[in-house]
Structure 1
Amino acid sequence: MPKQVTPLTDTRIKALKPKPARYPVSDGGGLLLEVMPSGSKIWRFRYSLHGKRQPTVTIGDYPAISLQLARDRARKYTEIVAQGVSPVADARQDRGAERISDTVSDFATIWLAAEIEGKSESYSRTTRRALDKDVLPAIGNKRLADVTPGDVLAICDKIKGRGSPKMALTTRNVIKRLYEFAIARQGATINPAQSVAARFIATQESRTRVLAPDEIGTMLRAVYASNVRRPLKLALHLLVLTMVRKSELIEARWEQFDLDAAIWRIPADAMKMRKEHWVYLSTQAVEMLRELREIGGATYVFPSSRGRIEAPIAKPTLNTAVKSLGLEMEHFVLHDFRRTASTHLHEMGLPSDAIEKALAHQIKGIKGVYNRAEYAEERKRILQHWAEFVGAQIDEGRKVVLGQFGKAA
């Protein structure tokens, strides 16, 4: 009795994993799906003619050739074989007629189905975004063979012009992978992204990102209107107001604070320059810290909610919180808050040396010889002025944002 074959399904096909050697999986009726070591899956038709087993006939790749279409072809070839004729010529003609459209847009659809299978949500989202936002609008209607390295570079230059060299490089890599897929399936012969070197796209230039006043307000309003935990909302706001580095904030201990005197003394071993640094807290910052004192841990201002032993929140926590807001602020990282504060305070005409000391920057020359409390009064005035400036940016757009900005937020 012949072995019973379980028909394939799309779910089962997608679950098939590559092995060191190619292997076939039968759908019945002579139809096979061959799984290659590379992970690609190819439909084949197995048949005998005049009592002799013949070489398999290639139908095409999955998912470019769907399960249903592959079955239709297998039935057609079975009928041809029944007439004593080889289906090879018909299969060759069918592959030509069924050949994937050679435009970038049409081929990208097929590539995506294979590329993002089993990949993370973040990877899939980034790949789709690169295609939909930049690649397809620029070259989607072009034939694969007509795309040049100049086209790829033009796409990358446009993205760099938005201040996103990292995304430009990511997009170059998306195009490169798409063409590698096309070349492997004879949809293209040359990879135009291959000759566009990474050094032409993303260089190690110093970062210059500064948030405009309205961007400061937009971000903090979004923070308070979000579902982010209240301590993390206050952490992001304090990161702006205190002008400290992220690591200095998340590792802050209550023993470092004198809220009555409005001073935060950061010990030398917690500072980048290994010198004790005093932060003169604004009234707004003190109010937030008093709230955190009521809801926070015994040791850390921002204790982790995981584990039994008290520890500060993880380093990526605040970055993750900002990403969850879904804001379109390209080329921005949390460290840019410090540059933002410095830039705006200098533009306001406030004393440069005091601003640099507030940022814990080292000043060269004779001015660099100072005690930890030097410029104290000016630094108090600067941080209070900055807190009020930031508050004004938040207030500017409150009328269009739902949610409270007090303790209930």
Structure 2
Amino acid sequence: MLTTIQINALKPREKAYKVADAKGLYLLVNPNGSLLWRVKFRFHGIEKKMALGRYPDVSLKEARQKRDEAREQLEEGVDPAAARLQAKVEAEIAARTTFRVVADEFIEKMELEGKAAATLKKMRWFRDVLQPTIGHRPIADITAHELLKALKRLERKGHHESAIRARSFSGRVFRYAVATLRAQHNPSDILRGALIAPKVKHHAALLEPAKVGELLRAIDGYGGKIETRIALQLAPHVYLRPGELRKAQWKEIDFEAAVWRVPAERTKMRKPHAVPLSKQAIELLRELKALGNSGDFLFPANTTFLKPICENTLNIALRRLGFTNEEMTSHGFRSIASTLLNESGLWHPDAIERSLAHRERDSVRAAYHRGAHWDERVRMAQWWSDYLVKLRDGAEVIRPKFGT
């Protein structure tokens, strides 16, 4: 068996030569003076060799430990050379398969599946938020502690809701990694309840009929761009989501049938949504059409007809009218319609929910009601517009009729 003194005394020769230790371990002495540990063994009767490192980086004691580990693998029927190569390949793949790489791939998958641009934008934002802490880490190696530390950074800044949503996004990425065999577990699962739950914040809206009347009168007097004024006037009659309203195109409007058909790709639920149009809504749309704007959009941007108005245009207009962000937002028109229509007691709750394009939690019920309530929704749309006119003119106020 070799000793450290003997190894240090070894001299290079014109050709490489071997110096044996024991149990298959030996040193390969190269002409350039390098000393390389090797171990030879037989696997299924075939002689093989495996490199164990360079001396003195790998000491005599360490080389013998590695040799013994290889012999233990042989006793278990494992080829140590093949196992080492497999481990090296897996390590290289893991090093390249970072959270950022998998997140990018997941977002690309979501895009191909038709997710909305706004949803993809939020995903990329959460990916970038997590980048400094776990983005560069192999996804299979990320622990719950690491993820929690990244989320707590957001939480300490007071961004409680963002922290919750970042955990949800990371969980979807980890689940995708598990499904594609690049991770063994999802560390976000055990972090449920670890973050501060944000206070529920509802979209600001004026829900008292008299206040709604004041709002409608203020909108009629809006002195800014005509298209913006009409958008604000139209919003309470159709109660679409702000993105569905501002990105509306003329091809969606059927004047003859008095229907606004919002395509699936522009709805939150990714399903087409039909909106019955009242006489007042048709009148506003005809006024808008008479402006003769070029392009496809009902409400084109200030600088180009090729794009719609930006997402803040209507909220800025409401601020100009004197309504604070805590009083009214563009999304608040939906809350007004939902609240007052339900309080009227005149309409079936399902008809109201269908008009608001809310998701039906019960899949069987959703299938049953897919085409239901259309006639009622048409009548409700006209009643609602007539009621808004009365509120604007300072007249009738709804009295709940829950017994009807």
Tell me the TM-score normalized by structure 1: 0.45
Max radius of gyration: which structure? 2
TM-score by length of 2: 0.46
